[in-house]
Amino acid sequence: MIPQTVLNVLEQYKRRSPDVIYVLAVSGGLDSLALLHICAKLGETSSIQYHVATLDHGLRGQAGADDAAFVVQTAQQLGLPVTQHTADVPGYAAEHHLSIELAARMLRYDFLASVVQKVGQGAVVTAHHADDQAESILLHIMRGSGLRGLRGMQTISQVPGHTGITLLRPLLSVSRAELEAYCRQHQLVPRQDTTNADTTYTRNAVRHLIMPQLRVLNPQVAQALSQLAESATVDEAYLQAQFERDIQPHCQRTGDRIAIALSSFTTWHPAMQRRAILFAVGQLAPDSDLSHERILAAVDVANRGQVGQVSEFSQGWRMRVGYASLFFEHGDMALPLGDYVQMAHDVIEVVVNGRTPIAPGIGLHTSTEPHPTGFAVALPEGMELILRVRRPGDVVQPPGLFGKHRKLKKWLIDRKVPQHVRDRLPLLALSGSIKERIVAALLPDGWYYLAMQADTEIHHKTVWIWLEKEL
């Protein structure tokens, strides 16, 4: 019995949210008119509250306006409050470079979400039925969907693009033929939307051209597709539970950036790698739509682990490979500095026996007297200490190379210093009468010696150097 099926779903959700007001999405067509009539009758014998919402998409001129007026009049006759709105789907589609179908869907759900916000404790209820479900699953198959798509529509989910607003589909187990019989039984005369017969729209083509052919091969094709959806739902639920338990804790969010350790990601099964990418992008950009190809490309980039490589997603979001982590972020975001100090100026003269500001809140202290946390630098005659940023062609002589030179760039790469912080790293150098050379580089874990003392140099003094941060 259709009313009982609807009531079961609505009462189940009402137990979670006792004060809920159900926002009924009604177009005036057969499916939604049946839903409206059923809910109105249920409201006569229960405490369930309803609010009707109808949208004229601006696609059919006066016919669309007449449909909306019909819904308003019917709702008022049934004693139900109603909200009506007119959208400009063609204009929105052109402005945002969307198909008419997608633009209509987005504006429809935006409208329904706005009505929910208007009524307060609301949840959207739509009239999607078993035949709609079969068509949706077939569309997902045609697009090469994964398990999530094969699940089809869920009885209880969320309004697309509006996290936190519940969407109920209580008629998913009811066929269109059953709804037609209900309308005949109760002498309901639905509106006819002529665009539903236009097979230039993909869903209409599936409904009017493909599904009839499939029914020739299998008269129970709708039920078969529903069984596929049920199996996919069970499998998807299991995999999602595993993901939430074992993988999701590794996705660390800081502001609008999510980081995943490369050492963890590369050990995961490909199914979990793909889910991790979907999860990270979905958390940052809920409205993004990742294609299968982009997901596979991102997995490949991540597993190769080439530092600095980027995998682009939609709307400017991306995955960037760091030395130890994958970073999911927007391309406009400033890259994180971590604990790296960055020079405020290209060259700074170091004050001996004093403090030299390096960057905001950070000072370099020097003393000719030994200091317990300082490191010693021998200052030859005619030379002075400076702080500077790196320059093209810089070379260093780190310990262990027995006096051989090494390009500073290569040394920084070996130390896994991120590329975006290298240009302003503080380098301590000797400058003056003898050829300038870099003495040390400041990294997050301290200073690194990068020069050997020449035997012919006469030491003028020894200077102890240490950092202090202002609180």
* Known binding-site positions: 27-32
CB 176 within 8 A of CB 29: no
Binding site members for ATP: 27-32
Which ranges of 17-168 would DSSP assign to H, the alpha helix? Answer: 30-44, 61-77, 89-96, 100-119, 130-142, 147-150
Contacts with 229 (C-beta within 8 Å, 6 or more apart), sequence order: 133, 137, 150, 151, 152
CB 117 within 8 A of CB 206: no
Interatomic CA distance for residues 354 and 133, integer angstroms:
75
CB 377 within 8 A of CB 463: yes
> What angle do helix axes 221-242 and 130-142 make, rounded to 10 degrees?
70
Upper half-sphere CA count for residue 155 (Cβ side, 13 Å): 16
Q: How far is CA 350 from the centre of its chain?
A: 46
The DSSP string of 144-198 is T--HHHHT---SEEE-TT-TT-EEE-TTTTS-HHHHHHHHHHTT------GGGG-
For residue 371, report the phi and psi dihedrals to the nearest 5 degrees. -130, 135
Interatomic CA distance for residues 96 and 92, integer angstroms:
6
Contacts with 291 (C-beta within 8 Å, 6 or more apart), sequence order: none
The tokens for 372 are 């317990």
Give the H or E element holding residue 235.
Answer: helix 221-242
Q: How far is CA 296 from the centre of its chain?
A: 16
- Best CA proximity match to 138, nearest among 204, 194, 85, 42: 204
